[in-house]
C-alpha cells in the first residue's frame, strides 16, 4: 500500500533487463555509443520530426538545463505558482540560469489559463533594463495537481507565449501519464501544439534514473552539450542511461506503464468517491488528492499505508470542509496493483 | 583489445546484480532509504571515522560540488596543470563555484611537489580585494599520468596547504587504483594524511554511475545537501546509486577490482618494455603511456586495438625521440583479461 | 515642476564642492586614502558602534552585495512584493547571490507586518534539500509606497526573523527620509532594533553616486571586500565617493536635506488634499501617490509637470474610484522649492 | 613625486568643471538625459561608425561586462598571462561570465604575438563538450608592461582570432596613452584592425570614475543594458558619468592629457637611462619599469617618492642583474609635472 510517490517504486523489469543486456562488451563513453544513437533515432521517430536529445539522470537537471538554455540570466520563466520547479528544486533553475527569475502564476487545479498568461504578460513589470523580460512559459504536464492540459490548452498558451517572444517548455516528469490520458500522439501533445522544448521523464514512469531534454528545433540546442557537461550531467558510461530509454520507448512500454498507473489512480478515485471521499481535483494522471477525515487518516496509517499529507494554498474552497480533515496525496505507479487499491479502500472504510 | 578508457568497460557483475536486488519493493526517494543508510555506515567503517557522504552519478559533479563547497567564489583551486578538473570538465568547477579560479601547477609525471606548492603560495599574486585567495589544493589520486602520490607526499602537501588555510581535496576517480597500489588503509591515504574531502569514484572501477563526496569533517558538509539538490544531483530513486556502492564496497570488491586493473597495467607495461617500448611515466595505477613508433601504431589499429593517441606538453624529454612516434594512453580496467594484453602485445610485435 | 524622481535632481552644492576639495593632490586608490578613513569613522560615530563600511556607486550594487553576503545561493530573501529589489533591479540580487530566490510578501502601503512574516515562515515550503531556506528579511525604509516602518515595527519584524535564523537587511535608498521622519537616532532605527546590514543611500538624498553597505557586526563583513571587487564595485579613485559621504554626513546635512524633501512632500499632500485629492497612502517620506482625474492629469502635463503615471496592484480599494483616474507618483527632493509645489497645485486646479 | 599609479591622480580641471555644469536643473535618470545622448554621438563621431556605448564607473566592470557579453559560460578568454583581468580583478570576469575561464598566454613585454595565439588555438585542449571553447581574445592596450600593440599587430591577432570564431576585445584602461603614441585614428586602432569591443577608459586618463564599453557592431550589444543593470552598473544620476566623457572627449582633451603623461614617462625614462638605469621594457605609454639598486631605492623612499616595488616573472633575463635590485613601476599621469621628474631623478642620483 505504497502511495507515497512514483519515485518510491522500483524499476520496471524490462528496463532492469536492458541494463544487463547493454552491459555486454565495451562501448565508448560520454554518449559515443550505439545505444545512444538508437535512442536518438527512437525519439525522432516518436516525435515524427528531427529532435535534439540530451539524456540526464534527474528531472531537476532536465528542467533546469532546458530552462537555462532557453532564457537569458535576465529572463523570467513563467510557471504555475505550485510548479515543482518553483517550489521543490531548491533554486536549481535559478542556479543553472545564472540567476534568472521564476514568476508564479495562479490557476485552478494546477493549470495556467491563457487569459491568466495574457494578463500577466500585459503587466507593466517587464522589460529591460530595469525589469526582467519574460523568456519562457513552463508548463507541467501532467500538473502537480494531477490534472492535464488538453492539446487546445497548450496551443492557446503557446500562441500567447510565442506572440510575446517566449519559448514554451514542458516539465514532463509525468509526460507519459498525460499522453496516455490525452490519447493523442506525442507530436500532437508537443511541437504541433507549439512546445519548443520538453523534459521527457522516464524515472517516475519506471526507469531507474533517466530523463531527456528534447529540443524540437535542433538549432536551439547548439552548445547544449557543453552546458550539460559543465553541469556534471554527461554520464561517462552513457549507454546505461540510453538503455533505460531504449527499453522504455520500445513497443510503447512507456505508454502501457503510464496507462496502468492512470487506471490505478482512476480506480482509487472511484473507490474513494463511492465512500464519500471525492478527490479535490479531477484525476487525470496518476495522482489523487483527497481530504481525509482525521479518523480515516488514522486508520490508514495504522494499516501501514504510505502517503504524504500535504498543505496546499490552492485547494478549492469547500474541499476541506471538516475542520480536522487531512489533505493527502496518493500516487500510483507502474507497479501499483489492484489489490493495493482494495486494501487501501478497505482500510479507509475501517 | 579495448584500452580506450576505464569508462568504456561495463558494470561488474556483482554491482549489476545489486541493482536487481535493491529493486525489490518500495523505498522512499531522495536518499531516505535503507540502502543509503547502509552505505553511509560502510563509508564510516571504511574510513574509520565519522564521515558525511553525498552520492552522485558523475565524477564531474563529485569534484565540482566538493570544490564549490570548499572554496568561496573569490577562491582559487590549485591543481596540476594537467588535472582533469582543469582540462576536461568544460569549466564545471568554475560553474559550481560561482566563478572561482583554477590555477594549474607544473609537476613531473602528473604530480605536484610540496616545494612547487610552497613556491606558488609564496608568490605576490594572492589575496583580496584585488587577487583571488588560494582556497583548495586539489590532488588527483591516481594522477592523469597514471602515477600515485605516496602517503608522505600527501602529508607534506597537506601540511603546506593547511598552513596557508587551504583545504585539501582529492579527485579520486581512480582512488581505488591508488589505494590498491599503496597498500595502506583508506584512512591512511586520506584524512590521516590531511585530506579534507574526497571524491570517491566507483564508476571507472566497475560501477554504472556512482561517485561519492566524502567529507572527513561532517561539519564542513553543512548545507551540502542543498548544493547537491540545486545542482540536479540528488537522485530520486537514490537506492540505485546506493546499491552500486554497497556492492562495490562489500568484502573489499572495490580493491580487488582495482588490483586486477593495476596488475593488467603492470603486465602490459612489462610486455611493452620487453619489446623496447618503455612507458614514459611509472605505471602505478591502471594507465600506461607509451610512445609507439608509427608502424606499431598502424599495426595495432589494423588489429582492432582501441585506445587514444594523445598530445601532452609534459612528457619527459627524450620520450618521443623518434620523429613519427605516437604517444598513446592505454587504460586497463576490472574487465581487462590477460589474453587482451597478449593479443595487444602480439599485434604490436606484428 | 519636476516630481519624476529624486534621482532626477542634481547634486547638493556642498557635495559638489567636496568633490573639488578632495581633488587636491594625490591619494592612493581603492580606498587606501584619508577621506575614506574619515568616512568610516563618521559612520561609526553616526551609528554609535563599530561598523564595517563598503562604499559603492549604485543602490542596485549596495543592496545586491549586502544580500549576497547575507544569504547562501540556496537561501531566500523575503521582501515586500513591491520592493525595488523584487521589481526593478532586473534580477541583480539573484545574479550577485548565485541564483538565490526573492520571495514577495503582501502588505498594505508597502509595509510587511510581523504577522505576515510569521505566517510566511510557518509555511511548509522551506528547508533543504528540496526547498530554499529563508535567509534574509529585506525591509525598504522608506518603502516604495512612501511610508515608513516605526522602530517598534522593525523590532518586531527583526525578532521574528532572528528567531528563525534570518538576517535583517534594510534597503535604505531613502533611509535619510525615514530617519528624518522618525525622529530617532540612526542607531535606534537600525541595529538597536535588530537590523544586521543597511544599504545606506546618499544618491537620492543629494549625492552624485554614493551608497554604502553598513554591517553592524563587522565580523559578518569578512571577505566583503573581495565580493565588492569582483562585482566591479571598488572604485579606483575611491576618495571621490568618500568625499560625497563626508559632505553628506557632515553637520547633519543628510538629515536637513531629507527633512526638506519630506516637508515639501507634506506640503504637496496637504495642498492636494485640500483640493479633494487625498493621497492613497500616508505621506511619511518624500513620495506622494495620488489618483488624478484624467482632466487634472492633462492640465498638469500641459503645464509641463514631470512625474510618472504608475500601475499598482496594491492600491487600496476605493482609491481609484473614478474610471478615468490616473494613479501618479510625485517625488520631492532636496532641491524641490515651495514655488514648485504652488505651481503644481495651481496647474492642477487649472 | 607620486608615481604610484595614474589612479592616484585626481580629476582633470575641465572634467571637474563639467560635473558642475551638468548639475544644473533636472534630468531623467538611468541615461535618459541629454548629456548621455551627446556622448553617444561623440563616440560615434570619434570612431567614425555607429557604435553602442555603455558607460560605467570602473574598469573592472567595463572589461567584465564586455567579456561576459562576448563569451558563453563555457567559453575561454585568451589574454596575456600578466593581463590585469587575469591577475588583479579577483575573478570579476569569471563572475560576470557565469564561470568562464581565462587562459593566460606568454609573451615578451606584455604583448601576445600572433604566432603564440595561433599555437595556442591549435592545441588539443579546446572544444565541447569536454573542453571550453576559445571565445574571446582580450588585448591590453597599452599593456601592463607599458608597451603598445601596433595596428599591424592587432590586425594579425584579430585575423587569427576571427578565423577561429573568437571575438576581439580590448582592455583600454590606458587606451588614450596607446592611441596618443600610435598616432593613428581611434578607428584605425580598433575596428578597422578587427577589434569587436573596447573598454574605453577615462578614469586613469583624468576622469573621476568613467569607463565605457564600446561595441563596434551595435547588434552585438543586444541586451547589454540588462546585463549592465543587473551587475549594478547603471547609474541613476547617469548624466554625471556622461559629463565626464563629454569633457574628456571634447576638443581632443583625452589625447592631450595622454600625450602629456606619455611625454613625462619618456622624460623619466630618458633621465633614468642617462643615469645608467635603463627601463626593462620599451616605454611606449605612461609606465616605466626599472630595476633600482637597493641604495637608490632607499634614497628615493627617503626623499618621499611614491611608487610600487613589484615582482614579475616575465622580466627579461639580465634586467635584474644586481642581486639586491628592486624592480619598480613608475606611473606618470596627466598631472605629472616636469619638476616631479627632475626631483625624482635628483633624488635617485642622491
Q: What is the pLDDT of residue D120?
A: 96
Residue D315 pLDDT > 90, yes or no?
A: no
CA distance A98 to chain C (A): 6
What are the pLDDT digits (tens) for B225-279? 999 999 999 999 999 999 999 999 999 999 999 999 999 999 999 999 999 999 9
Q: Confidence band (pLDDT; 50, 70, 90) for D320? A: confident
Q: Which residues contact C286 (CB under 8 A, 6 or more apart)?
A: C6, C142, C146, C174, C177, C258, C261, C262, C264, C265, C331, C332, C333
Q: Which residues contact C278 (CB under 8 A, 6 or more apart)?
A: C272, C290
Q: For residue B72, which phi and psi values (nearest 5 degrees)? A: -75, 165
Please give the angle made by the CA atoms of C165, C166 and C170, to the nearest 5 degrees: 155
Query: Is the Cβ of C236 closer than 8 Å to some Cβ of chain A?
Result: no
What are the pLDDT digits (tens) for B3-12? 999 999 999 9
How far apart CA A226 and CA D131 sit, in angstroms, is 8
Nearest to D94 by CA among B98, C283, C286: B98
Q: Which residues contact C198 (CB under 8 A, 6 or more apart)?
A: C66, C169, C170, C172, C175, C190, C213, C214, C216
Q: Do C129 and B98 touch (CB under 8 A)?
A: no
C-alpha cell at C294: 484624467
What are the pLDDT digits (tens) for D79-93? 999 999 999 999 999
Beta strands in chain C (DSSP E): 52-56, 75-80, 101-105, 133-140, 167-172, 197-201, 211-215, 287-292, 308-309, 326-331
Query: Is the Cβ of A339 closer than 8 Å to some Cβ of chain B?
Result: no
Q: Which of the other chains make 3 or more beta carbon contacts under 8 angstroms with chain B?
A: A, C, D
Query: How many CB pairs (< 8 A) connect A and D?
Result: 49
Q: Can you state the angle between helices D239-249 and D34-47, rounded to 10 degrees?
A: 40
Q: What is the pLDDT of residue D322?
A: 81
**What average pLDDT is seen over chain D?**
96
Q: Which residues contact D142 (CB under 8 A, 6 or more apart)?
A: D148, D174, D175, D177, D178, D181, D284, D285, D286, D287
Q: For residue A156, which phi and psi values (nearest 5 degrees)? A: -65, -45
Query: For chain C, what percent of residues have pLDDT higher than 90?
Result: 94
pTM reported for the whole predicted model: 0.97
Q: What is the pLDDT of residue B314?
A: 80
CA distance B75 to chain D (A): 9
Q: Which of the other chains make 3 or more beta carbon contacts under 8 angstroms with chain C?
A: A, B, D
Beta strands in chain A (DSSP E): 52-56, 75-80, 101-105, 133-140, 167-172, 197-201, 211-215, 287-292, 308-309, 326-331
Look at the block and give the residue holding cell 520571495.
C103
Residue D317 pLDDT > 80, yes or no?
A: no
Identify the closest residue of chain C to B233 by CA–CA distance: C129
Give the residue-averaged pLDDT of A70-88: 97
Return the H-helix or E-strand segment holding D211.
strand D211-215
Residue B350 pLDDT > 90, yes or no?
A: no
Q: What is the pLDDT of residue C316?
A: 82
Q: Do C233 and D232 touch (CB under 8 A)?
A: yes
Q: What is the pLDDT of residue B323?
A: 81
CA distance A26 to chain B (A): 5
- For residue B19, the chain A residues in CB contact (below 8 A) are 11, 16, 19, 208
What are the pLDDT digits (tens) for D240-292? 999 999 999 999 999 999 999 999 999 999 999 999 999 999 999 999 999 99
Upper half-sphere CA count for residue D196 (Cβ side, 13 Å): 23
Query: For chain A, what percent of residues have pLDDT higher than 90?
Result: 94
In Å, what is the CA distance from B17 to each residue of A20, B13, B243, C66? 9, 6, 9, 52
Least confident of B64-68, C345-349, D57-61: C345-349
Chain C neighbours among D 104-133 (CB < 8 Å)? none
Surface-to-core class of residue A286, CB atoms within 10 Å of its CB (0-12 exposed, 13-18 middle, 19+ buried): buried
Q: Confidence band (pLDDT; 50, 70, 90) for A243? A: very high
Residue B86 pLDDT > 80, yes or no?
A: yes
C-alpha cell at C328: 501618479
What are the pLDDT digits (tens) for D94-117? 999 999 999 999 999 999 999 999
Q: What is the pLDDT of residue C314?
A: 80
Helix H segments across C164-223? Answer: 175-182
Give the residue-averaged pLDDT of A61-74: 98
Separate counts of helices (H) and strands (E) for chain A: 13, 10
Nearest to D210 by CA among D5, D20, D15, D2: D15
Q: Mutation test of the interface with chain A: which of D29, D52, D73, choosing the one with the most A Cβ atoms within 10 A?
A: D73
Give the residue-averaged pLDDT of C195-209: 98
Least confident of B29-38, B198-207, D56-65, D321-330: D321-330
Q: Can you state the angle between helices C239-249 and C13-22, rounded to 10 degrees?
A: 140
CA distance C52 to chain B (A): 15
How far apart CA C255 and CA C176 sit, in angstroms, is 6
Return the H-helix or E-strand segment holding C39.
helix C34-47
What are the pLDDT digits (tens) for D332-343? 999 999 999 999
Task: Tell me which residue in A90, A98, A124 faces C74 most closely, judged by beta carbons.
Answer: A90
* Neighbouring C-beta atoms of residue C350, cutoff 10 Å: 11
Q: Do D74 and A226 touch (CB under 8 A)?
A: yes
Task: Tell me which residue in C128, C225, C226 faces B226 most closely, judged by beta carbons.
Answer: C128
Surface-to-core class of residue C51, CB atoms within 10 Å of its CB (0-12 exposed, 13-18 middle, 19+ buried): buried
Query: How many CB pairs (< 8 A) connect C and D?
Result: 156
What are the pLDDT digits (tens) for C10-52? 999 999 999 999 999 999 999 999 999 999 999 999 999 999 9
Annotate chain B with three-state secondary structure: CECCCHHHCCCCHHHHHHHHHHCCCCCCCCCCCHHHHHHHHHHHHHHCCCCEEEEECCHHHHHHHHHHHHCCCCEEEEEECCCHHHHCCCCHHHHHCCCCEEEEECCHHHCCCHHHHHHHHHCCCCCCCCCCEEEEEEEECCCCCCCCCCHHHHHHHHHHHHHCCCEEEEEECCHHHHHHHHCCCCCCCCHHHCCCEEEEECCCCCCCCCEEEEECCHHHHCCHHHHHHHCCCCCCCCHHHHHHHHHHHHHHHHHHHHHHHHHHHHHHHHHHHHCCCCCCCCCCCCEEEEEECHHHHHHHHHCCCECEECCCCCCCCCCCCCCCCEEEEEECCCCCCHHHHHHHHHHHHC
Residue B321 pLDDT > 90, yes or no?
A: no
Identify the closest residue of chain C to B131 by CA–CA distance: C226
Upper half-sphere CA count for residue C295 (Cβ side, 13 Å): 3
ipTM above 0.90, yes or no: yes
Amino acid at each position: 500500500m505504497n502511495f507515497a510517490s512514483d519515485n518510491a517504486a522500483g524499476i520496471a523489469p524490462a528496463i532492469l533487463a536492458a541494463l544487463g543486456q547493454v552491459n555486454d562488451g565495451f562501448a565508448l563513453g560520454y554518449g559515443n555509443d550505439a545505444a545512444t544513437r538508437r535512442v536518438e533515432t527512437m525519439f525522432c521517430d516518436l516525435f515524427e520530426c528531427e529532435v535534439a536529445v540530451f539524456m540526464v539522470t534527474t528531472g531537476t537537471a532536465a528542467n533546469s538545463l532546458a530552462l537555462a538554455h532557453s532564457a537569458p540570466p535576465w529572463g523570467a520563466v513563467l510557471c504555475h505558482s505550485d510548479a515543482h520547479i518553483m517550489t521543490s528544486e531548491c533554486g536549481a533553475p535559478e542556479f543553472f540560469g545564472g540567476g534568472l527569475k521564476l514568476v508564479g502564476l495562479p490557476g485552478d487545479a494546477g493549470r495556467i489559463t491563457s487569459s491568466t498568461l495574457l494578463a500577466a504578460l500585459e503587466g507593466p513589470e517587464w522589460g529591460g533594463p530595469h525589469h526582467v523580460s519574460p523568456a519562457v512559459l513552463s508548463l507541467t504536464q501532467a500538473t502537480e495537481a494531477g490534472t492535464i492540459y488538453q492539446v487546445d490548452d497548450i496551443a492557446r498558451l503557446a500562441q500567447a507565449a510565442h506572440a510575446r517572444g517566449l519559448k514554451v517548455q514542458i516539465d514532463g516528469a509525468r509526460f507519459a501519464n498525460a499522453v496516455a490520458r490525452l490519447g493523442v500522439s506525442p507530436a500532437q501533445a508537443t511541437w504541433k501544439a507549439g512546445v519548443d522544448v520538453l523534459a521527457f521523464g522516464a524515472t517516475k514512469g519506471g526507469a531507474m534514473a533517466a530523463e531527456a531534454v528534447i529540443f524540437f528545433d535542433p538549432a536551439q540546442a547548439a552548445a547544449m552539450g557543453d552546458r550539460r557537461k559543465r553541469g556534471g550531467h554527461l554520464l561517462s558510461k552513457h549507454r546505461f542511461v540510453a538503455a533505460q530509454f531504449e527499453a522504455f520507448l520500445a513497443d510503447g512500454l512507456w505508454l502501457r506503464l503510464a496507462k496502468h498507473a492512470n487506471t490505478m489512480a482512476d480506480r482509487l478515485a472511484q473507490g474513494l468517491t463511492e465512500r464519500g471521499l471525492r478527490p479535490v481535483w479531477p484525476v487525470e494522471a496518476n495522482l489523487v488528492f483527497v481530504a481525509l477525515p482525521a479518523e480515516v487518516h488514522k486508520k490508514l496509517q495504522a494499516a501501514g499505508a504510505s502517503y504524504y499529507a500535504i498543505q496546499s494554498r490552492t485547494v478549492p474552497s469547500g474541499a476541506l470542509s471538516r475542520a480536522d480533515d487531512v489533505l493527502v496525496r496518493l500516487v500510483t505507479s507502474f507497479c501499483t496493483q489492484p489489490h493495493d487499491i482494495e486494501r487501501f479502500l478497505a482500510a479507509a472504510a475501517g
